[in-house]
Structure 1
C-alpha cells in the first residue's frame, strides 16, 4: 500500500467517515441486523455504536492495521463481541452459510474487485440472510452534468482515496451477484459535493 496508504489514508478516512452527518445514515443501515454479522470494510469502527441488540457477534473484515488500531476504543465499548476476522473482502475465511446478516458502508466503491466481494458475501450468508449496504456511486440518470464531472474526477479521486471509485453502481453489482434488493433509498447528501454522486442505502436478500 505504501506509506501514504498505510499511515496517512486510514487517518483521513477515520476523520471523514466520523462526520456527525453520517450518524443517522449509519443508524438506519444497521437497523434489522441480527445474529452473527460479517462487516466488510469495517474501517475504524464507526458503525459499532449502532449495532442493534439483536446482533450477537461481528466478524470485522479490515485490511488496514492502523484502521483496526484506530477502532480500538469503539471495539472495546461495543455491546457485542467484535473480532477482526479477515483482511480481504474478496476472499472471506468462512464456511458457506455462516452469517445471519452482512453489512457494508461506503466500501463497495473501494474494493478492487467488488463483484468478487459480493459473491463472497452471498456465499457466507445463510439462505434468506440480508445484506445491509450504504454506498455512493454514479449519479442518477438525468444528472448528466454530475456524471460527466464524476468521470473526469475519478482517476484523481482513486489515487487520493485508496482506489475509491465515483462511478460504480451498487445496485447493479448486487443484482449481478445474485442478490434481490428489497429496500432502497437513493439520495444526495447536502453536506457532500454532488460530484461524489448519489448515496444508496438499502437491504438485499440472499436466496
Structure 2
C-alpha cells in the first residue's frame, strides 16, 4: 500500500511538472506548424471591430490580424503558454489586452464584441455549454464567431482510431479531444454556421481534419 501511494505521489508530481514545463512547449510547437499557420491566415483577417480571442495561447494568431481591428482582448487559462509569446504587443496596430481567464468564465461585459475568434481551442474546453453561453453573452447580436478547429474525421476508419486513442491523447495533450464534432457543437449551442469549409491538413490524420468558418447567433 505504501509503495502504491508513493507511486501515485510521484506520478502527480511528474504530471504537474509535465503540464507546467513540457506541455506548453509541445502545444506551441504543434500549433505553429506550417499547415496550421496557413489555416490562421485564412480566418483571422476576417476579424473586425472590437475583437475577443478565446484561447490565445502564445499569440500565434497575432500576426494575421489586420487594421480592421479596433481593439483585441485575448484570454487564456495558461500563463505558461502566454509567456512563450514572441510578439511585442505594444507594437500592434490596435489596442491589445491579455486577461488570464477561461472560456467558461469570461470577465467582460454583455454584448461587448463585434467578433469572437476561437482557433484550436474547442477541443480542450471542459464545459462547452457554459463556454458558449458566455460567448453568446459577450458577443453583440450582430456579431460573428470565427472558428478554426480540428475534430471528428469523416472517414470511419479514422474515426475509430480517434475514439480508441482519445482517452490517452486527452491526458497527455492538455485536455485535447481528437473526436469532437465541431459543427454540431457550434450549432447545438445557439449558433448558425453561415460559412463552413473542411479538409485534412498534411500530417497525422487523427489530428488533422480541420473545420473553419463563420457562425452567427441564431
Map 1:69-84 to 2 at 5 A: 69-71=83-85, 73-84=87-98
Residues 130-174 of structure 1 deviation map (CA, whole Å, 9 limit, x = unaligned): 00000111112xx11111000011011101110100111111111
Residue matched to 2:63: 49
| CA RMSD, 1 decimal | 1.5
Residue matched to 1:117: 131
Q: Could you tell me which runs of 5 or more consecutive residues in structure 2 were left unpaired when the two chains were aligned.
A: 1-14
Per-residue deviation, 1:74: 4.6
SS of 1:156's equivalent in the other structure is helix
Map 1:155-170 to 2 at 5 A: 155-170=167-182
Do the aligned residues in 2 keep the contact of 1:86 with 1:93 (CA within 8 Å)?
A: no
Q: From the superposition, tell whether residues 113 and 74 of structure 1 become closer, same or farther in structure 2 (CA, over 3 Å).
A: farther
Residue matched to 1:182: 194
| TM-score under structure 2 length normalisation | 0.89
In terms of Rg, which structure is larger? 2
Residues 28-57 of structure 1 deviation map (CA, whole Å, 9 limit, x = unaligned): 111321111111110000000000211011
- Could you tell me which of 181, 185, 189 is aligned with 1:173? 185
Q: How far apart are the structure 2 equivalents of 1:6 and 1:84?
A: 19
Alignment length, in residue pairs? 204
Residue matched to 1:12: 26
Residues 55-85 of structure 1 deviation map (CA, whole Å, 9 limit, x = unaligned): 0111111111121111153534422222112
Q: How far apart are the structure 1 equivalents of 2:110 and 2:100?
A: 15
Q: How far apart are the structure 2 equivalents of 1:55 and 1:92?
A: 20
Q: How far apart are the structure 1 equivalents of 2:86 and 2:134?
A: 26
Per-residue deviation, 1:194: 1.0
Do the aligned residues in 2 keep the contact of 1:6 with 1:64 (CA within 8 Å)?
A: no
Per-residue deviation, 1:20: 2.1
Per-residue deviation, 1:206: 2.0
Residues 100-158 of structure 1 deviation map (CA, whole Å, 9 limit, x = unaligned): 00001100001111222122111100011000000111112xx1111100001101110
Residue matched to 1:198: 209
Q: Could you tell me which runs of 5 or more consecutive residues in structure 1 were left unpaired when the two chains were aligned.
A: none
| TM-score under structure 1 length normalisation | 0.93
Q: From the superposition, tell whether residues 161 and 77 of structure 1 become closer, same or farther in structure 2 (CA, over 3 Å).
A: farther
